[in-house]
Amino acid sequence: MQPVVRLENITKNYNRLRALDGVSLSFGAGMVGLLGPNGAGKTTLIKVLLGLVEITAGSGEVLGLKLGRQARAIRERVGYMAEDDCYLAGLTGVETVQFAARLSGLPSLEALRRSHEILDFAGIEQERYRPVETYSHGMRQKLRFAQAIVHDPPMLILDEPTSGLDPEQREAMLQRICVLANRAGKTVLLSTHILPDVQSICDTVIILARGQVRVVDRLEVLCRPASPAYHVHVVGSPGPLEARIRAEGLECRREEDGAITVMEADERTAQRLWGWAREMALSIRSLAPARNSLEQIFLDAIREDSHAHS
């Protein structure tokens, strides 16, 4: 499959500060989560992809177009939802989206028609006729989302699209993003601090720290533990079962939520666990193959980073 984004050894310096340090990555169509602590270089990476800043070294392609030389063509095909407010003072919601559409090349009347269509999709109703200055935070998020997709770009870069939204609006926003990726076939790069958002909708994850790529892989692969393991939840205290597992020569650890993770499990482990529970008159609430949590993967990547620099 042809990669949608391919970066090779991208370095970006702001005077003495190295914001990106030899970033190499590639990903294909689908939903990609971009994670990293503050100052990791996420915003700079986005600006590099959009051609808003010149790279110090390296090369890359977005949608088959060369970074730098074809920046304008890239921006024509990429929709960007900024994290911060950005609007034109004095315009109404529909005028703002129409303006964005026209900047992307839609003819005036067609831009107006398309803006109404997209505002319907984004969930902005009659408020579209109000000046943007009067919008709430949630409304502005939706408006920026509408601006990003109004020209129907094949790739979207969404910077913190759900931050500051209430749970209902957040769910609706994630659903819209899923519609764009799954039904409209768009590639979505989702930059966020909200890990559950990435876990719930993304299929690939990139973790940046100190301007370097720490992790880039499919979420499914990342969440698979290094060796097969099981998560066991029991009704009541897990202590006796934990002791029994250890006594049987298996390695295990107690999780914060009270679950027991049994390491180095094989096909017979589940059967044996059921048997021991029956013998000890314990009820198993759940027994499932263990998966690494994204939070753990993220923290491991960050720890790796702080250890390397301590």
Partner 1 sequence: MPIHDLGYRAWQGRTVAEILRWWVITETGIRLAWRNRWLRRILWFAWAPALFIGSGFFAYEQWMINPAAQQVGERIARQLLEAAPSSDRHEVWAWLLMSFFRYPQAMLMLLIVGLIAPPLIAQDVRTRAFLLYFSRPITRIEYLVGKLATMWAYLALITTLPALALYVFAVLLSPEIGVVVDTWDLPIRVLAASAVLMIPTTTLALAFSSLTSDTRYAAFAWFATWGFGWVTYGFLFSGVPGVYASDNWTLISLYHTLGEVQTWVFGVGQTTSLFVSSTVVLLGISVLSLMVLFHRISSPMRV
31 CB-near residues (< 8 Å, 6+ apart): 177, 178, 181, 187, 188, 190, 201, 202, 203, 204
Collapsing DSSP to helix, strand or coil, 204 comes out as strand
129 is a contact residue toward partner 1 (CB under 8 A): no
The single residue among 11, 13, 104, 293 that binds partner 1, judged by CB under 8 A, is 104
193 is a contact residue toward partner 1 (CB under 8 A): no
The single residue among 10, 23, 100, 301 that binds partner 1, judged by CB under 8 A, is 100
Helices (H), 83-194: 93-103, 108-122, 137-149, 167-178
The single residue among 87, 135, 230, 276 that binds partner 1, judged by CB under 8 A, is 87
The single residue among 57, 103, 235, 288 that binds partner 1, judged by CB under 8 A, is 103
106 is a contact residue toward partner 1 (CB under 8 A): yes
DSSP line for 11-63: EEEETTEEEEEEEEEEE-SSEEEEE--TTSSHHHHHHHHHTSS--SEEEEEET
The single residue among 88, 243, 299, 308 that binds partner 1, judged by CB under 8 A, is 88
120 is a contact residue toward partner 1 (CB under 8 A): yes
Cβ-based nearer residue to partner 1, 14 or 274: 14
Q: How far is the CB of 177 from partner 1 (least distance, A)?
A: 10
Q: How far is the CB of 120 from partner 1 (least distance, A)?
A: 5
117 is a contact residue toward partner 1 (CB under 8 A): yes
Residues 170, 175, 179, 181, CA torsion sign: positive
Q: What is the largest CA-CA distance in the chain?
A: 75
Collapsing DSSP to helix, strand or coil, 292 comes out as coil
170 is a contact residue toward partner 1 (CB under 8 A): no
Q: How far is the CB of 50 from partner 1 (least distance, A)?
A: 6
Q: How far is the CB of 53 from partner 1 (least distance, A)?
A: 6
16 is a contact residue toward partner 1 (CB under 8 A): no
In the sheet that 252-254 helps form, which strands lie side by side, from edge to edge?
Answer: 252-254, 260-262, 230-234, 284-289
| R_g over Cα of the chain | 24
The single residue among 2, 57, 184, 296 that binds partner 1, judged by CB under 8 A, is 184
Q: 256: which 2 tokens?
A: 């914060």
Cα(201)–Cα(187) distance, rounded to whole angstroms?
A: 12
With contacts defined by CB under 8 A, name the span among 47-55, 194-202, 203-211, 219-227 that binds partner 1. Answer: 47-55
Q: 269: which 2 tokens?
A: 């482990």
Neighbours of 237 (CB within 10 A): 10
Q: How far is the CB of 282 from partner 1 (least distance, A)?
A: 47
Q: How far is the CB of 214 from partner 1 (least distance, A)?
A: 24
The single residue among 22, 68, 123, 225 that binds partner 1, judged by CB under 8 A, is 123
Cα(150)–Cα(14) distance, rounded to whole angstroms?
A: 32
Cα(60)–Cα(253) distance, rounded to whole angstroms?
A: 44
Q: How far is the CB of 19 from partner 1 (least distance, A)?
A: 10
The single residue among 7, 29, 48, 53 that binds partner 1, judged by CB under 8 A, is 53
- Strands 212-218 and 204-209, by their bridges, are antiparallel
Binding site for partner 1 (CB under 8 A): 14, 47, 50, 52-53, 72-73, 75-76, 78, 80, 82, 84-91, 99-100, 102-107, 110, 114, 117, 120-121, 123, 125, 147, 149, 151-152, 176, 179-180, 183-184
